Structure formats: structure tokens, C-alpha cells
Amino acid sequence: MVQVTIWGSLAAATGDQTEVEIDATTLRELLDGLAARYPALKPQLDRGVSVAIDGRIYNDSWFTPIQEDSEVVLLARLKGG
């Protein structure tokens, strides 16, 4: 199980939990697991998120491995100029 930190305004979709546990070993499993367990997160997941894994930020690489003790933080989808 991986512990995932959810940002504040998404907590309404997770029953006010800002830390949730998901059974995942990759980024894809993490995002699929979040959508399955918390359907209310789906609109934001569809709009796009970035994910920080142990301090490094990932966007779309589905098969990025996640360790059980990794720090995983959901972020608003990063945009640049």
C-alpha cells in the first residue's frame, strides 16, 4: 500500500481525508486506484494531475515505479510558460 497526500481542495472528494492509502506499484495503478476508490476525484484526474514521488515530479509516465515507503503527493497539473 502507498500513502498518498491529497491537496486541500480535493479532500472533499475523499471524505475530508488528506492522506489516503492505495494499493499501487506504478503511477498508473495509483491513478486508477484513486479513481476507483474515490469516484469524486475523477473530474480532477481527468483534467490532469502531476504526482511528486520522493520529491521528483512526474506527469504521464504510467509505469514509473512507486515503492511502498515512497512519499507520494498529488499536485495540480503543472503548467509552464
17 binds another protein (CB under 8 A): no
Which of 17, 25, 59, 67 binds another protein (CB under 8 A)? It is: 59
Q: What angle do CA 12, 35, 71 make, to 5 degrees?
A: 80
Q: How far is the CB of 46 from another protein (least distance, A)?
A: 10
What is the grid cell recorded at 36?
476507483
C-alpha 79/C-alpha 77 separation (Å) is: 6
16 binds another protein (CB under 8 A): no
Report the DSSP beta bridge partners of residue 20. Answer: 4
Question: Which residues, 6+ apart, have CB-to-CB distance to 47 below 8 Å?
Answer: 77
Which of 36, 60, 67, 68 binds another protein (CB under 8 A)? It is: 60
Where does this chain bind another protein (CB under 8 A)?
5, 7-10, 12-13, 40, 43-44, 47, 50, 52, 54-61, 64, 71, 73-76, 78-81
